[in-house]
Amino acid sequence: MRPELLSRALSLLPERGGRPELEHYLEMLRDYPQRGGKGIRSELLLASARVHGARPGTPAWEGALWLAAALELFQNWVLIHDDIEDDSEERRGQPALHRLHGTPLAINAGDALHVYMWEAVHRSGVPGAMEEFLTMIHRTAEGQHLDLSWVEHREWALQEADYLQMVELKTSYYTVIAPLRLGAIAAGVSPHPAFRDAGLALGTAFQIRDDVLNLLGDPAKYGKEIGGDLLEGKRTLIVLHWLAGAEVDQKEAFLEQMLRNRPDKDPGVIDEIHRWLLDSGSVNYAQDYAHAQARVGLELLEEAFQHAPDAGAAQELLGAVRELATRDA
């Protein structure tokens, strides 16, 4: 995220803990935000605020900055808990927080950042922002439940539609819909109703792109372990598409690995499955699906922005969103 958002978010934390354990607590809270996330969602929020006429230096812009900081805090507390839930090894090129400090302290640190997120929302003073955050997190938690419950119950009898519903809930709200809407309300404008459908499509494109990168991304850029989704038993459009047409022995080998907990999975077989997926047409299928969704979302957004107060800012936002859906990290 941009440095001014990082310092704004961290300015909510006390500077000193008063005793060594609480210094350590504050270090844990600052850790993920300081690892330098890309700030995709906060940039989208600020871009939307500009599109809707909020000008830097105005009170509206100040409100937008607090909401952007809150969105980054959201992303960071969710990642702390996500990494525990998925038992991920790495985050942004470094060990996940619970691998550094143990699960109990990491859960608590995530909860604490969650509270600082609400503090940032409150500081924004933007009417309606609290409701937006409530809706956004409800949908995200529902999507997260779908994802996690499939892992917990070894559920692989899923259709593409199941995956797509999960992604809409888990990714689209906080990645696209909420940033677009929050930018509008920070500028004092009622959000365009099409933001919802646009955001659902673009969020889906975004998540599928992430799933693809998890299989064939550049480890140096990606920041998470390549193939980590397979080790964590994640459902993806790629895997569900491949499963539907896979040879019986490959399918069996796959499901047999997916019945195992992460530490019991056979790295050799997982590597083999990884290759099968790359060699199948399923990565291309998913890429095409993502591109189609991105196109739908961008068209809806272009239409919604036709009468936007700042047409230049609207063009910039559309370009940035287009890049997101085709990014390579």
Q: Which residues bind a copy of itself (CB under 8 A)?
A: 17, 19, 21-22, 24-25, 81, 84-86, 101-105, 107-112, 114-115, 118-119, 122, 130-131, 134, 137-138, 141-142, 144-146, 148-152, 165
Type of residue numbered 72: E
Distance of closest approach, residue 175 Cβ to a copy of itself, in angstroms:
18
DSSP 192: P
C-alpha–C-alpha distance, residues 76 and 31, integer Å: 9
Q: Do 51 and 314 touch, CB atoms closer than 8 A?
A: yes
Distance of closest approach, residue 49 Cβ to a copy of itself, in angstroms:
23
The residue (of 29 and 44) whose beta carbon lies closer to a copy of itself is 29
Q: Do 54 and 61 touch, CB atoms closer than 8 A?
A: yes
DSSP 173: I
Q: Do 175 and 200 touch, CB atoms closer than 8 A?
A: no
The residue (of 134 and 259) whose beta carbon lies closer to a copy of itself is 134
The residue (of 207 and 282) whose beta carbon lies closer to a copy of itself is 207
The residue (of 90 and 272) whose beta carbon lies closer to a copy of itself is 90
The residue (of 142 and 272) whose beta carbon lies closer to a copy of itself is 142
Distance of closest approach, residue 219 Cβ to a copy of itself, in angstroms:
25
C-alpha–C-alpha distance, residues 69 and 124, integer Å: 10
Distance of closest approach, residue 282 Cβ to a copy of itself, in angstroms:
24
C-alpha–C-alpha distance, residues 174 and 320, integer Å: 17
- Six token digits for residue 63: 């409100």
Distance of closest approach, residue 162 Cβ to a copy of itself, in angstroms:
8
Q: Do 72 and 42 touch, CB atoms closer than 8 A?
A: yes
